Amino acid sequence: MCRLSQSLRDALSGELMSRYCPKLSLPPMPHTSTLTFCRVALPSSLLSYSEGHMIIDGYSGGLSAELNKLKSIARLYFSECSITCPGLQDITCLESVKVKDCPNLFRWPIEAAHTIRPFPASLKELKIKGESGMQSMVLLSNLTCLTSLKLVDCENLTMDGFNPLIRVNLDDLMVYNTDKCLGRSVSADMFSELAGARTNLSLPTGSFRLRLLKVDCISAVLVAPICTLLAATLEVLIFIHDQRAESFTGEEERALELLTSLKFFTVRNCPNLPSLPQGLYSLPSLQQIVVGCCPQVQSLPKGPFPTSLKALRATGCSPELQEQIEKLEGSLPGFDTDSE
């Protein structure tokens, strides 16, 4: 079978399935606005739609212009696609978009990128990884309903057009580069903009509702203006892939102590960091400390543990730190020290 006939397409009652038909030529998907179920599977690609959830994996067909016909899409996942998406702003039911390794999905001319808002303002979750074609935060400037935002390895992303109000409803914010893209820190640029907005827009203390923060720049977050905004709600703080950090400065230590709601603190893949912040033990709500792949960290902070602390874990760290943690197992009954 090499082609899906027009008569068959016209007869579709809302469902379509094709599997392992490598010579089948499909017209632009998803064929009809009444589609309720669709699955087109090949060994290297998948297009699936069911119950408002669409997966587009390894796809290069004529799809992008047809997406807006499916008004009932609530969750959309792109992975390793070579298509360019003109925009999803007309899909008003869309709540979640996840994009992984699709370098051309947001690749528009620079002049067009300043006017396009590719997502509906109602979007609540956006996760983008490995998107080198995304060059400006202006693309997200209308997303003030977001509760979760994740931007990983978006190495060319600038803060041009950044709207600080996109953080109003955020519960989770994850912005970092991995070992693949360590040339610059997008999170550093973002928090620099937020610090400026706090002054210029007079953002009041408590205007953030952020619960989880995962970034690759310690120095951008541990400043008093930012930590003051985060203090009331932030429970999880993760620093990851910060190659630049070589110490915690006095200013950073004092800013960290403002985070009185913090329960979980993690540093991971920070190879040049020689120590943990001494102010950790002064945090009244702290329950868990995790250190991963930080070989230069030689010891735990000095001073008594806070009574709230229940677990301390380390993986891929120095023998000295591992030995200290192992000794805690005998001295603190019930204390969780799952180290490797």
Query: What is the rounded CA–CA span in Å between residue 152 and residue 172?
Result: 14
* Residue 16 confidence (pLDDT): 55
E-assigned strand segments in the chain: 15-19, 37-42, 45-50, 53-57, 75-79, 96-100, 125-129, 148-152, 172-176, 212-215, 236-240, 264-268, 288-292, 311-315
Average pLDDT over every residue of 62-78? 77
What pLDDT band is residue 4 in, cutting at 50, 70 and 90? very low
Cis preceding linkage at 30, omega within 30: yes
SS3 (DSSP) at 74? coil
Domain holding 92, by residue range, is 1-143
Tokens of 255: 């800013």
Average pLDDT over every residue of 219-243? 95
Note whether residue 277 is domain-resident.
Answer: no
Measured distance between the N- and C-terminal CA atoms of the chain, rounded to whole angstroms: 55
Note whether residue 50 is domain-resident.
Answer: yes
Note whether residue 74 is domain-resident.
Answer: yes
Note whether residue 309 is domain-resident.
Answer: no
Name which of 225, 83, 217, 107 is nearest 156 in CA terms: 107
Note whether residue 95 is domain-resident.
Answer: yes
For the chain, what is the domain count? Answer: 1
Query: What is the rounded CA–CA span in Å between residue 59 and residue 78?
Result: 9
Residue 67 has pLDDT above 80, yes or no: no
Note whether residue 153 is domain-resident.
Answer: no
Note whether residue 266 is domain-resident.
Answer: no
Please list, in sequence order, all residues whose beta carbon lies within 8 angstroms of the beta carbon of residue 307, skipping any fewer than 6 positions away: none
Query: What is the rounded CA–CA span in Å between residue 174 and residue 187?
Result: 9
State the Cα torsion 103-104-109-111 to the nearest 10°: -70
How are the residues of the chain apportioned to helix, strand and coil, as percentages rounded to the nearest 5? 20, 20, 55
* Residue 115 confidence (pLDDT): 73
Percent of all residues in the chain with a pLDDT value above 90, rounded to a whole number: 45
Note whether residue 169 is domain-resident.
Answer: no
For 67, which DSSP code? Answer: G
Selected residue with higher pLDDT from 37 and 144? 144
Tokens of 245: 């950090």
Residue 71 has pLDDT above 50, yes or no: yes
Query: What is the rounded CA–CA span in Å between residue 150 and residue 164?
Result: 16
pTM for the whole structure: 0.87
Residue 173 has pLDDT above 90, yes or no: yes
* Residue 48 confidence (pLDDT): 84
